[in-house]
């Protein structure tokens, strides 16, 4: 193929086909609206390659860490199925937003994409909620707020129920994410002692009974969207059927090991990002101690949140003890250097 014919094929009647060139000239949205078939798919593929790393770094990693999904926060290939679905939903939403709204010259495409993440994903999230039959913007109707009284926690719990009904996420074999809401209860009420999952289950039932005072409303915005959630093996046991028993030790140990492996991977990534070629041992040691203290000190408690008070081990204190021991720090730094030196990273 001659250079001239290649130029003609790339430019065509709608302008140049390269995504970044189109963005820089302000013609990306016009081109996306103009082309069809394989040309459109090619543009979408290019947009995906730009968008997905930004979405993962700016949205997915933060969300997964906030959920306590430390392994999912490592990389896209570590995402569990449900988390991966959410990631793809966000990427698809941002790609569509880029191809629709990139109407001005854009010099730094990644930076512009980052600035549009919230608008693109929130709009798409609301559309998906509407498609599932849930409220697009979960807000309490006046009658429900009045029926729940002036206590802010029942109102917050009712809002969380409406939010939960409209997402595809599940709570394992349970119907509701009771442990997460118990943490939220402590934040709202300031009562850390009374934030008991069994109490939250009873409060959920109370709020649901109030909602059921308007049967048509309850069926439309709670029952029907909840009925569209994926069915998890074992869910028929029911939340109450599981009781308030601690997780068996073998399961708990396996989950703890996976969580710590995820935390360690995050720590290594952070250490590598802060170091520069040629840094001496003192710098590497200081960075390693700081990062390990931040990662394990802040997130390690999430591993045993399903255990009763005093039922979990004090791994956070153990890590702090290791970081205070020069000999242990020396061994840790040697292990970190072996991982992050060129040729050793996966």
Cα separation, 302 vs 66, whole angstroms: 10
Query: Residues 265, 232: one domain?
Result: no
Residue 346 located in a structural domain = no
Based on its alpha-carbon atoms, the radius of gyration of the chain, rounded to whole angstroms, reads 25
pLDDT at 112: 92
Q: Residue 204's Cα: distance from chain center in Å?
A: 24
Residue 23 located in a structural domain = yes
Residue 20: which domain range? 3-131
- Of the ranges 25-29, 157-161, 235-239, which one carries the lowest mean pLDDT score? 235-239
Of 3 and 175, more confident: 175
Query: Residues 21, 104: one domain?
Result: yes
Collapse the DSSP code of 85 into the 3-class scheme (helix H, G, I; strand E, B; otherwise coil) and give the result.
helix
Of 223 and 295, more confident: 223
Residue 45 located in a structural domain = yes
| Spatial contact of 45 and 233, defined as CB atoms under 8 Å apart | no
Query: Residues 160, 73: one domain?
Result: no
Residue 36 located in a structural domain = yes
Q: pLDDT of 37-84, one tens digit each?
A: 888 888 888 899 999 999 999 888 888 887 778 888 888 888 887 788
Cα separation, 66 vs 180, whole angstroms: 11
pLDDT at 177: 87
Query: Residues 272, 231: one domain?
Result: no
Query: Residues 87, 205: one domain?
Result: no
Residue 52 located in a structural domain = yes
Residue 136 located in a structural domain = no
**DSSP per position, 43-87:** HHHHHHHHHHHHHIIIIIHHHHHHHT-TTTTT-GGG--HHHHHHH
Query: Residues 12, 124: one domain?
Result: yes
Residue 120 pLDDT > 50, yes or no? yes
The token pair that represents 131 in the structure block: 């498609």
The token pair that represents 151 in the structure block: 């206590």
Residues 6 or more apart whose Cβ sits within 8 Å of residue 171: 177, 178
pLDDT at 261: 63
Boundary residue ending a domain (108, 131, 154) = 131
Nearest residue to 55 via CA among 26, 39, 79: 79
What's the average model confidence in pLDDT over 129-139? Answer: 73
Strand partners, 174: 171
The continuous run of DSSP H or E covering 278 comes out as none
pLDDT at 53: 92
pLDDT at 195: 74
What's the average model confidence in pLDDT over 234-254? Answer: 42
Query: Residues 126, 189: one domain?
Result: no
What's the average model confidence in pLDDT over 142-171? Answer: 87
What's the average model confidence in pLDDT over 23-27? Answer: 90
Residue 137 located in a structural domain = no
Query: Residues 179, 122: one domain?
Result: no
Name the percent of the chain lying above pLDDT 90: 14
Query: Residues 267, 238: one domain?
Result: no
Residue 36's pLDDT band (boundaries 50, 70, 90)? confident
The continuous run of DSSP H or E covering 235 comes out as none
Residue 146's pLDDT band (boundaries 50, 70, 90)? very high
**DSSP per position, 7-20:** HHHHHTTT----HH
Boundary residue ending a domain (194, 209, 242) = 242
Boundary residue ending a domain (213, 242, 271) = 242
Query: Residues 283, 310: one domain?
Result: yes
Q: Is 334 exposed, middle or buried (0-12, 13-18, 19+ CB in 10 A)?
A: exposed
The token pair that represents 243 in the structure block: 């009781």
- The number of domains in the chain is 3
Query: Residues 103, 157: one domain?
Result: no
Mean pLDDT of the chain: 75
Of 258 and 266, more confident: 266
The token pair that represents 38 in the structure block: 């394989």
Residue 345 located in a structural domain = no
Residue with tokens 């609301």: 126
Query: Residues 12, 100: one domain?
Result: yes
Of 107 and 337, more confident: 107
């Amino acid at each position: 193929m001659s250079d001239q014919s290649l130029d003609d094929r790339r430019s065509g009647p709608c302008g140049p086909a390269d995504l970044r060139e189109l963005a820089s000239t302000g013609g990306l949205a016009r081109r996306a609206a103009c082309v069809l078939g394989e040309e459109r798919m090619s543009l979408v593929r290019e947009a995906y390659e730009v968008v997905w790393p930004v979405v993962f770094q700016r949205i997915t990693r933060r969300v997964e860490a906030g959920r306590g999904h430390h392994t999912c926060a490592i990389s896209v290939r570590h995402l569990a199925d449900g988390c991966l679905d959410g990631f793809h939903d966000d990427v698809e939403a941002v790609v569509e937003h880029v191809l629709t709204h990139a109407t001005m010259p854009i010099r730094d495409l990644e930076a512009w994409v980052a600035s549009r993440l919230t608008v693109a994903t929130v709009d798409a999230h609301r559309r998906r909620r509407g498609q599932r039959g849930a409220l697009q913007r979960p807000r309490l109707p006046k009658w429900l707020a009045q029926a729940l009284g002036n206590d802010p926690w029942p109102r917050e719990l009712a809002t969380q129920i409406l939010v939960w009904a409209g997402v595809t996420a599940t709570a394992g074999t349970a119907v509701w994410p009771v442990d997460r809401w118990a943490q939220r209860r402590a934040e709202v009420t300031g009562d850390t002692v009374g934030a008991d999952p069994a109490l939250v289950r009873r409060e959920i039932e109370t709020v649901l009974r109030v909602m059921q005072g308007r049967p048509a409303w309850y069926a439309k915005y709670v029952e029907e969207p909840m009925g569209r959630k994926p069915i998890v093996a074992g869910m028929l046991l029911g939340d109450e059927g599981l009781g308030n028993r601690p997780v068996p030790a073998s399961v708990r140990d396996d989950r703890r090991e996976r969580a710590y492996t995820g935390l360690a991977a995050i720590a290594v990534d952070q250490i590598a990002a802060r170091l520069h070629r040629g840094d001496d041992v003192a710098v590497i040691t200081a960075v390693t101690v700081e990062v390990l203290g931040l990662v394990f000190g802040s997130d390690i408690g999430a591993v045993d949140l399903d255990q009763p008070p005093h039922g979990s081990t004090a791994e956070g204190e153990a890590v702090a003890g290791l970081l205070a021991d020069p000999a242990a720090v020396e061994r840790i730094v040697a292990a970190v250097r072996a991982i992050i030196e060129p040729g050793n990273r996966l």
